[in-house]
Structure 1
Amino acid sequence: MSAAWLAYWLVIMRLAVGWWFLHAGLDKFLGWPFNAGWFVGGAAAETSLGPLVTLFSEGAALTFVNVMIPVGQTLIGLGLVVGALTRLASFFGAFLMMFFYFINGETGGWAHGLVTGELLGLLLFAMIATLGAGRVLGVDAYLARTAFFQNHPKLRWFIG
């Protein structure tokens, strides 16, 4: 398989994962107010992660989670769809999927095995970040050529 086909396959994967998260975030905004209390609260009561999760199950921390999950999913999805700051978006997408994976796993999600949708999502985000999927038909290709990123080479880690 040629490198060109691999590059276009990465674009398809980036768009699919981006749409998945963009849709999830926008869906939460359309059903506003979003409340993660059932998810976080249930995990706090049922898992060995309870003490850590309890911090986010009520009050200001839950309000923060209720805002940041839809905002985060929307921004992650948008970043991947347009191919902008792809590695940064993928990092935060992988972080969310890791959070969801461990919470769901402990609350019975692993009853069907260790390989779940959350784990597959985590692997997809890792692939997109590792292979620099934003530089093919994405804004990251343009950003990499700007003077700002040329003068700040460490910031190139954020773009794909």
Structure 2
Amino acid sequence: MATNEATVQWLGKRQEFDYADGVAGYVMVGIRLIVGYWFLHAGWGKLVAGEPFDAAGYLQHAETPIAPLFELVAGTPWLLEFTNVMIPLGEFCIGLGLIVGALVRLAAFFGGVLMVLFYLGNADWANGYVNGDLLGLLMFVLVGVFAAGRLLGIDAYLEKTEFVRQRPWLGYLLG
């Protein structure tokens, strides 16, 4: 198996390391697809459920460090309605973007934002601070940092278009 060398700047020091060439790409695509399916499935389930998604009860009774934010959202009708639409729609769109590899960094950013809110909102840390929400956040960070959309994703094609090449800032959304 071929290996590649990489160099990172870590705490002010250059660090070189080897990584498996072919395996790294497969792992990133796998992570992207699994996280994409996870969010697509979660959003789709809420969108097609028999009753409309309603976060009010959860937001009003959550014992969390961000309870004041949740109470504000639950007590403001337009914010609550916005939340009730955007959670399922956002989960679905984030998942779809990851699965097809389109706007992956943008999807990973918003997925990470949701995972921070879920992590703090589900702050049952009786068994420690590491839980599924924190690991989900880590997966979004990996997908975004390593530009997983460039591997078997639509972003690889989008980045080659003249439109994107003339607007380098779009690279922050793609990849």
TM-score normalized by the length of structure 2: 0.85
Question: Would you say 1:42 and 2:61 are equivalent positions?
Answer: yes
Q: CA deviation at 1:48?
A: 4.1
1:38-77 alignment runs, 5 A limit: 38-43=57-62, 46-58=63-75, 59-77=77-95
Q: CA deviation at 1:29?
A: 0.6
Name the one with the larger helix percent.
1
Amino acid at match of 1:117: G
Q: Residue deviations 1:40-69, cap 9 Å, x none?
A: 1112xx334232221111311111100000
Name the one with the larger strand percent.
2
2:135 paired residue among 120, 126, 129: 120
- What's the Cα RMSD here? 1.1
Work out whether residues 65 and 120 of structure 2, in 8 Å CA contact, stay in contact via their aligned partners in 1: no
Q: Residue deviations 1:7-28, cap 9 Å, x none?
A: 1110011000000000000000
Aligned residue for 1:110, secondary structure, equals coil
Structure scoring higher RCO (CA < 8 A, sep ≥ 6) equals: 1
Question: Would you say 1:158 and 2:166 are equivalent positions?
Answer: no
C-alpha separation in 2, matches of 1:114 and 1:99 = 14
Percent sequence identity over aligned pairs: 48
Amino acid at match of 2:59: V
2:114 paired residue among 92, 96, 103: 96
Amino acid at match of 2:117: F
Structure number, greater radius of gyration: 2
Question: Which residue pairs with 1:134 in the alignment?
Answer: 149
C-alpha separation in 2, matches of 1:112 and 1:137 = 38
Question: Would you say 1:149 and 2:149 are equivalent positions?
Answer: no
2:37 paired residue among 10, 13, 19: 19
Going from structure 1 to structure 2, the CA distance change for 1:48 and 1:94 (only over 3 Å counts) comes to: closer
TM-score normalized by the length of structure 1: 0.93
Show structure 2 runs of 5+ residues with no match. Answer: 1-18
Going from structure 1 to structure 2, the CA distance change for 1:33 and 1:8 (only over 3 Å counts) comes to: same
C-alpha separation in 1, matches of 2:113 and 2:69 = 16
Q: CA deviation at 1:134?
A: 0.5
C-alpha separation in 1, matches of 2:70 and 2:52 = 21
Aligned residue for 1:6, secondary structure, equals helix
Number of residue pairs matched by the alignment: 155
Going from structure 1 to structure 2, the CA distance change for 1:156 and 1:65 (only over 3 Å counts) comes to: same
Runs ≥4 residues deviating over 4 A: none
